[in-house]
Structure 1
Amino acid sequence: MVTILDTLNRPRDADKERPRHPEKAHRPDNPVQRKPKWIRVKAPTSPVYRETQQVVRENNLVTVCEEAGCPNIGECWSKKHASFMILGDTCTRACAFCNVRTGMPGPVDQNEPTGVAEAVSRMGLEHVVITSVDRDDLDDGGAKHFANVIKAIRQRSPGTTIEVLTPDFLRKTGALETVVEARPDVFNHNLETVPSKYLKVRPGARYFHSIRLLQRVKELDPAMFTKSGIMVGLGEERNEVLQLMDDLRSAEVDFLTIGQYLQPSKKHHPVLSFVTPEEFKAYERIAYAKGFLKVSASPLTRSSHHAGEDFAELRAARAAKLGH
């Protein structure tokens, strides 16, 4: 059976001239393990999938769905759900889990906010996710561009709710404030993994800086929903995941996602375990007990998967908690 992951891992013609992950090439080859049956998904064939793809291409947009090789792209695009990746397709960092190209990015496309807003309008999106590569080369890490994209969507589609999935803006003074001031409905920043794995998995980032970033969002706007996610299967211990939950709750994070790490290529960090659906359900129960308003935990859970439906449930959970 041809799976969606097989399809996405084939190189595009534009990628054949240069290695996709030049900085990752020094890592030893790791054979990609065969995936258990609960992770395999079929390649997309829906006509609506093709329509979504056409809108993305016509507006010269980049999606994290494609760049990160998301296993849910067939389902999401067939429902006209897409997560737009702004600020280019080249990241200044070289995380060991990530399938996005690394290197020196090109200049920022100043027409991108208009293009994203046009795509959101044409697709009739009720909820949209905006993410980006890391842009350590920019003075503000791309924060103003995030704000411009949010503003453009608000002007073109005022009824659309907006979720941002941002970089950590490490050493970018004032960047977080710029994004929060643009008033997205959900502010998401992923921890990705437990702190003991950062040196190998996410070497350019700092765990407690990311925790503080999420905490600061609530200080700036207590009403803004905050969200974070991790992958499991990278060698983390169960007690480390539980401590991470406590760290996020100390920062008043509302929504937690937990998904299975899938190795994009043999150059990336290996999968050290496939967590069973039963173990994911156990994590979900514990996270709810710790006070998260919304938890999504399953092998195929990703930050942007079912984002619109999840946002509706998140709002309902807050209203119920407040007695409204």
Structure 2
Amino acid sequence: MSSRRKPDWLKMRPPSGERFTDIKETLRGHDLHTVCEEASCPNMGECWSGRDGPGTATFMLMGDRCSRGCNFCDVQTGGMEPLDPDEPANVAESVAEIGLDYVVLTSVDRDDLDDQGAGHFAQTIREIKARDPSILVEVLIPDFQGEEDLVRKIIDANPDVIAHNVETVERRQFPVRDRRAGYEQSLKVLDQVNRESDIYTKTSVMLGVGEYDHEVYQTLGDLREVGVDVVTLGQYLQPSRSHLDVAEYVHPQKFETWRRVAEEEFDFLYCASGPMVRSSYKAGELFVDAVLREGKSIEEAREDARRAASD
């Protein structure tokens, strides 16, 4: 692991609780994966256990092995297997069993497939919506190598939020990301969604990978220029010795400064920013839920999300 000692503010609550166990058993019963587990998310205990609601799990589609090898990610690379044609229906059934009203779907990259898995992704969205149209579906999609027809398949399935992560500032794209990814390619995906739909868009930026402040500022500006609505900023944590080293543990006060810059200067609808924030993060989901389902104002939704994150 990195030789840098983790500061006190990065202490994690271990996963526990009856709700956590119930969700895990449901997922195993349908042979499903979550990015929560595969990517070693530090918020798994909080999200799965829930506080006042049913809890949140981010389903990872198309297997647990990725065709790319990003240096920050704990998901295994290579050894790709055929898609499970029953997975879309199994995910929808699990959503019903768990009782979720807000679902997050993501996937590994599947560059080995003709459509890179876009059709499988879209079918899962449709299966969930067919069972209960009131469920809000957020998708965190790959870049599909920037192929517009494939991104359009996701748009046409009509999820409520389309997220795609730029991950880091332009200068640090490599070594952070696989060389098949790229800053401009990611911006292009987000721009297309905003040009061709009124679906909310979302992205995530990791801090602590060797970026400079002016580069974070520039990234926020670039994201807002292509119309991104929601941004999350979190601390990179090294999953193992073979992954990218942590360059810096960013202080929570600095994360708060970036939140203010994002919302007050760049006018993002919402910014979740903190050391333990990840792209699929409960506070961000609560914000979207409040706006879309409850019809609250942006300020009311922001306040509710911040309160939930600090409870």
Question: By the TM > 0.5 criterion, same fold?
Answer: yes
Tell me whether 1:33 sits opposite 2:13 in the alignment.
Answer: no
Structure 1 residue matching 2:145: 3-state secondary structure: coil
For 1:317 and 1:286, the matched residues in 2 are separated by: 20
2:139 is the counterpart of 1:164: yes
Give the Cα separation in 1 of the matches to 2:81 and 2:286. Answer: 35
CA distance in 1 between counterparts of 2:209 and 2:174 reads: 12
Is contact 1:96-1:268 (8 Å) kept?
A: yes
Please report how far the alpha carbon of residue 153 of structure 1 lies from its aligned counterpart in structure 2 after TM superposition.
Answer: 0.3
SS in 2 for 1:258: strand
Q: CA deviation at 1:45?
A: 2.1
Deviates more, 1:235-244 or 1:303-312: 303-312
- 2:256 matches 1:285: no
Cα separation, 2, equivalents of 1:273 and 1:313: 34
Cα separation, 2, equivalents of 1:137 and 1:264? 25
The answer to whether 1:99 aligns with 2:45 is: no
Q: Are 1:310 and 2:287 counterparts? A: yes
Structure 1 residue 69 and structure 2 residue 45: aligned? no
How far is 1:313 from its partner? 4.3
The answer for unaligned runs of 5 or more in structure 2 is 302-311
Aligned match for 2:13, one of 28, 42, 45: 42
- Tell me, what secondary structure is at the counterpart of 2:218? helix
Structure 2 CA distance, aligned partners of 1:87 and 1:287? 33
The answer to whether the 8 A contact 1:32-1:265 is kept is no
Check whether the contact 2:231–2:272 (CA below 8 A) recurs between aligned residues.
yes
Q: Secondary structure at the match of 2:234?
A: strand
- Aligned: 1:179 with 2:167: no
Distance 2:79 2:90 in 1: 23
Is 1:152 equivalent to 2:127 in the alignment?
yes
Q: CA deviation at 1:48?
A: 1.0
Aligned-partner residue type, residue 60 of structure 1? D
Q: Which amino acid aligns with 2:216?
A: V
1:231 aligns with 2:206: yes
Counting aligned pairs with the same residue, the percent is 42
Give the whole-Å Cα distance in 2 for the aligned partners of 1:32 and 1:56: 36
- SS of 2:31's partner is coil
Could you tell me whether the CA contact under 8 Å between 1:91 and 1:100 is conserved in 2? yes
* Alignment check: 8 A CA contact 1:86 1:130 kept: yes
Structure 2 vs 1, CA of residues 320 and 308 (structure 1 numbering), >3 Å: closer, same or farther?
closer
Of 309-318 and 243-252, more deviation after overlay is shown by 309-318
For 2:94 and 2:288, how far apart are their aligned partners in 1? 20
State whether residues 2 and 246 of structure 2, in contact with CA within 8 Å, keep that contact through their aligned partners in structure 1. Answer: no
Q: Is the 8 A contact 2:103 2:135 kept in 1?
A: yes
- The CA distance in 1 between the partners of 2:80 and 2:194, in whole Å, is 31
SS where residue 295 of structure 1 aligns? Answer: strand
Moved more, 251-260 or 200-209: 200-209
Deviation digits for residues 242-288 of structure 1, max 9, x if unmatched? 00000001101000000000000010000010001100000000001
Contact 2:64/2:75, CA 8 A, preserved across alignment:
yes
Change (3 A) 1:320 1:262: closer
Residue of structure 1 in register with 2:192 after alignment = 216
Give yes or no for the alignment of 1:298 onto 2:274. Answer: yes
Aligned-partner residue type, residue 303 of structure 1? S
- Aligned with 1:312: secondary structure? helix
Give TM-score scaled by structure 2 length: 0.90
Q: Which amino acid aligns with 2:59?
A: F
What is the alpha-carbon distance in structure 2 between the residues aligned to residue 184 and residue 226 of structure 1? 11
TM-score normalised according to structure 1 size: 0.87
* Larger CA deviation: 263-272 vs 137-146: 137-146
Deviation for aligned residue 1:199:
1.8
The answer on 1:82 being equivalent to 2:82 is no
How far off is 1:69 after superposition? Answer: 0.1
| Structure 1 unaligned residues grouped into runs of 5+ | 1-29
Q: Which has the higher mean CA deviation after the structures are superposed, 151-160 or 53-62?
A: 151-160
Would you say the 8 A contact 1:32–1:263 is kept in 2? Answer: no
Report how far residue 173 of structure 1 moved: 4.8
